[in-house]
Chain A
């Protein structure tokens, strides 16, 4: 009964979403305020219906209703409760439902916080969000219904993919989807701006916190995904340039560009049509990511449920949404005149260059991801593009970006004096260079050129971000007044740039100083790696809730003291008969020690014999994710800056413009 209710709620939601699209559109066309007002109530009703459907599927998982095909395929009686709940988005159908539910959440938020906007802008934006929702609801109901029944009902389910039974996977997809779907709000407002022809600094100020919020969730999602891959894939890597990772990275890059160009549009009234284009692109790339992951056109380990019929549907939907948006853009954007002049050596000029780099980076990731498809379509043969391409292309694009991060915050709007900038940046430059040479020498005793260069970039971003805060603080008399006097937006920007620097340091150190060793050890034997003594204490059989494992114990000593006892595991999941390596990691901010259990090497495979073990020493590994965490925190502060809440001037401005129209 419950699954049928869920299914019915989805059908109803589709109906309400259609109302949410057509009635407000009619209202905008006829200037009918009653039709415009329908947008809000339809949006809220639709969101609640989708939430209800999501609850129904969750209920089916919690109570192991294996008569639902999706539950039978992705759950098991032995599956722990937390993974039963997260199994809701463990495969194709459920993750679509999550997508739609999150879209419902964003739509609900827009419908609640829209009070200050003119009714026609709100109605257009909600109608656009409704269109997206219609597409995904249709997709789900026609090709991927999560509530399909299964008969005969199996006694037990097939179990969730073991790769997904990990704490990182509990929150990674919802966060990532929050980001993907969150860009739909900026997209909806961009379309509303094009339709109404009104795009001013008030529009930009309204769009900024939404974009920043979507961006911060996306950053969090990507960071968690990287952390998950590091723990679960079991070979010490944290980014693989897999098509699915690229699918999330492309909208992140364009979203980052959008955040910066929105700043220019708000402060200077420039780059208007460019900002609108970026808003469309960021969401377009989110849709493209969904298409790539769901259609199976590109082979990836993540593409767990691929089906060409689904691919055709998403491709059609993507074509309609983006085709209509770009045509609207081609028609209306030329009228969005900029309000001022632009000089290249100014903050807006540097932000434009930053945008160019970010968009080119995104385009090169897109090219690398699609190149195999292109070559295939042209019948030139079949090829794969590996990490060598991405690393070669990405580094030269990223280094200048990090350099600019330090400069742009110091350069004033409109016009800058070179001599003044040089005076400002002299000290950070000296500190960054000194730190880049001294720190690696102090910790590791040798410093290759690559480390000095990478370290310089990292320290440069860190020092200039700190300087920005200090510059604003020192005008105040006391420390607390100074700290409180810095606006949240500035804190946010500086923290995000600081995080970028921390990330760059982490990447530099990890890629240059990591040491790894593959060893054969008998129980009781020890081995040394980078000054750490690893004692293998043997392997014991262990019975988990839905798996059996070989549970290893390794004691790690440093300078004669025990620093950690870790337990790497090899799990065999009973229902799927899949092997999983659970690496054990001991970490401090300055280093990770990573132990993975290999194969038993003795003939009888008993637990007392020799085992192959893989040991890694990874300095500064945590910084890679800590950098992401700083960026998220920065996004959080920037999105909650109080000037977005106290926007009387904006209201007045909008009211004035609306009166003119």
Chain B
């Protein structure tokens, strides 16, 4: 019987992977698209006060989930810096499951593209927003409705081809 253990473990893994493929985050659009941003009310990094989903309304914004421990965030960071500088788009950082001190140091080191950085220390907002893994970036229109979700690092191409047109539309 114990010689059957490997094949049983394999069967379990295969079921898991099959489910994982079906749940593929790149294929299935976020169920939140077209819906208002999930509610949250969290503290800010490096300043007093808190920030809630209501504060996201009134103009199109990018909400970028990142963390100092995340390698993909390192990759997309120059792109975000460039966007913040050149396109004048408002990027809100959501510091996901991270220590404030680490995030402060990380941002000091790499520069900050963010107008505000929200502390999602417990990852609760990430859970509500359906964050699969950092980095992820949500595009919100002026009504605070999610219109697009970028999974994985932000790229110049994604910005040019997908997000910039949406932002232009969202500003109206």
Contact = CB atoms under 8 A, between A and B. Distances in A.
Nearest to B127: A381
A388 B153 CA distance: 21
Interface in A361-403: 370, 372-374, 376-377, 381-384, 386-388
B16 A373 contact: yes
Contacts, number: 123
A636 interface: no
Nearest to A292: B17
Contacts of A487: none
Contact of A299 (B6, B126, B152): B152
A145 B71 CA distance: 30
A466 interface: no
A518 interface: yes
A312 interface: yes
Contacts of A383: 123, 133
Nearest to A366: B13
Contact of B97 (A386, A518, A581): A386
- The contact size tier of chain A is 35 or more
Interface stretch (A34-42, A322-330, A346-354): A322-330
- The contact size tier of chain B is 35 or more
A482 B71 CA distance: 49
B46 interface: no
A251 to B, nearest CB: 15
B87 interface: no
Given A233-B74, A312-B21, A386-B69, A323 B10 contact: yes
A345 to B, nearest CB: 25
Interface stretch (B23-31, B34-42, B162-170): B23-31
Contacts of B23: 376-377
Interface string B7-23: 10011011011111101
A599 interface: yes
Contacts of A318: 14
B109 A373 contact: no
Contacts of B69: 386-388
Contact of A384 (B97, B109, B130): B97
B21 A315 contact: yes
A301 B21 contact: no
A327 B28 CA distance: 35
A111 to B, nearest CB: 29
B171 interface: no
Contacts of B3: 273, 329-330, 333-334
Given A308-B24, A315-B17, A579 B78 contact: yes
A296 interface: yes
A299 B133 contact: yes
Contacts of A166: none
A306 interface: yes
Interface in A269-327: 273, 277, 280-281, 284, 291, 295-301, 306, 308, 311-312, 315, 318-319, 322-323, 326-327
Given A284-B10, A296-B26, 14 more contacts: A240-B71, A299-B25, A301-B72, A301-B153, A308-B27, A323-B11, A323-B14, A326-B6, A326-B10, A329-B6, A373-B20, A376-B132, A382-B131, A612-B111
10 contacts: A235-B74, A277-B6, A295-B17, A295-B21, A299-B72, A301-B75, A301-B153, A329-B7, A370-B16, A579-B79
